[in-house]
Amino acid sequence: MTNSGFGVTIVTGASSGLGAGMARELARRGHELALFARRADKLQSLADEVETESGVAVTAHSLDVTDHDAVFAQFRSVSQDRGGLARVVVNAGIGKGARVGTGRFAANRDTLATNVIAALAQIEAAMEIFYEQGHGQLVVMSSVTSGRGLPGPMNAYAAGKSAVTHIADGVRLDVAQRKSPIRITTLHPGYIDSEMQDRTGRRHRLQVDADTGARALVDAIERGRGSECVPRWPWTAYRLVVDHAPRRILTRIL
Ligand SMILES: NC(=O)c1ccc[n+]([C@@H]2O[C@H](COP(=O)([O-])OP(=O)(O)OC[C@H]3O[C@@H](n4cnc5c(N)ncnc54)[C@H](OP(=O)(O)O)[C@@H]3O)[C@@H](O)[C@H]2O)c1
């Protein structure tokens, strides 16, 4: 699938990591972009670089996704200015959870506020516009860790990814009931190089580099399936193992 030529692709959390990688790869493949994040200078530099390299229109928009009114207003404004929305990639996220019961409630609260409630605001804002247009693709960034309750710092993060996976599953059923051509794509990335991964201070032995990850993410977006692990290998198998492994093995493979 190439760019349909109808509307723009919104990517949130595009100032670094997977969002920045997807922005570069989507533009290379001809998709016009509207990029969102809080770090406006970093985002504007990326937009300028990507527009020059690809020749497609790329705009940068400063947004904190936890400002829910701003999410609705900015998605609406981009849609009106750019001839509609081809797709919205709900990617902005944080990974700063902490072991429950260790006095770090604020870290877990912030993780869920950004990765679930702010993601829901983006999904709501996107779906309103898609229903009006009668088309569009919602892409929700989940994780290979979304299928099971996980220990330690991954607790709130995995629970949040489970929540957004279920929200996307429910919206997919809504769309099917309406016999609408709107597509709902949930991506479950494995470990991919990014600022979030850098902050953990360790590199998972199966972690893939940022370019490989970005190409695989955009391949999956363009395939438009309901749900897939990215890259598919080894992460489809890894997810199955995480979902079903006995507890003593689980902590060794995370
Ligand atoms: N990397 C992986 O291995 C991996 C695996 C599975 C899932 N994921 C998911 O992929 C997504 C991207 O993660 P990443 O690894 O690329 O992390 P990252 O490099 O830290 O990027 C996170 C992005 O989200 C933005 N963001 C965070 N809070 C925001 C807020 N309140 N408002 C607006 N933007 C906000 C950040 O931009 P600003 O700070 O400029 O706002 C940044 O652009 C996340 O949803 C993450 O859970 C990543």
The CATH number covering residue 225 comes to: 3.40.50.720
Helix axes 155-177, 105-112, angle to 10 degrees: 20
Distance (angstroms) between ligand 1 centre and the Cα of 120 equals 15
Distance (angstroms) between ligand 1 centre and the Cα of 8 equals 21
- Give the tokens for residue 190: 């494995």
Pocket of ligand 1 (CB under 6 A): 12-19, 37-39, 63-66, 91-95, 114, 141, 143, 189, 191-192, 194-197
Written as tens digits, the pLDDT of the chain (254 aa) is 444 458 999 999 999 999 999 999 999 999 999 999 999 999 999 999 999 999 999 999 999 999 999 999 999 999 999 999 999 999 999 998 999 999 999 999 999 999 999 999 999 999 999 999 999 999 999 999 999 999 999 999 999 999 999 999 999 999 999 999 999 999 999 999 999 999 988 899 999 999 999 999 999 999 999 999 999 999 999 999 999 999 989 988 88
pLDDT at 202: 86
Instruction: Tell the residue nearest (CA) to atom 23 of ligand 1.
Output: 13
Q: Which atom of ligand 1 is nearest to the CA of 39?
A: 40
Q: Is residue 224 a part of any domain in this protein? A: yes
Which residue, chain included where needed, has tokens 């991954």? 154
pLDDT at 2: 41
Q: How many domains does the chain have?
A: 1
Q: Is residue 211 a part of any domain in this protein? A: yes
β-strands 137-141, 183-189: how paired?
Answer: parallel
Q: Is residue 186 a part of any domain in this protein? A: yes
pLDDT at 5: 52
Full-model pTM: 0.97
Q: Is residue 2 a part of any domain in this protein? A: no
Domain that holds residue 62: 8-253
Q: Is residue 1 a part of any domain in this protein? A: no
φ, ψ (nearest 5 deg) of residue 121: -60, -45
Distance (angstroms) between ligand 1 centre and the Cα of 116 equals 13
Instruction: Tell the residue nearest (CA) to atom 17 of ligand 1.
Output: 196
- How far is it, in rounded angstroms, from Cα 150 to Cα 158? 6
Pocket-testing residue among 16, 116, 221, ligand 1, by greatest number of atoms within 8 A of Cβ: 16
Distance (angstroms) between ligand 1 centre and the Cα of 13 equals 5
Q: Is residue 3 a part of any domain in this protein? A: no
Residues in the chain: 254
Q: Which atom of ligand 1 is nearest to the CA of 64?
A: 32
Q: Is residue 195 a part of any domain in this protein? A: yes
Catalytic annotation, residues: 157
Q: Is residue 235 a part of any domain in this protein? A: yes
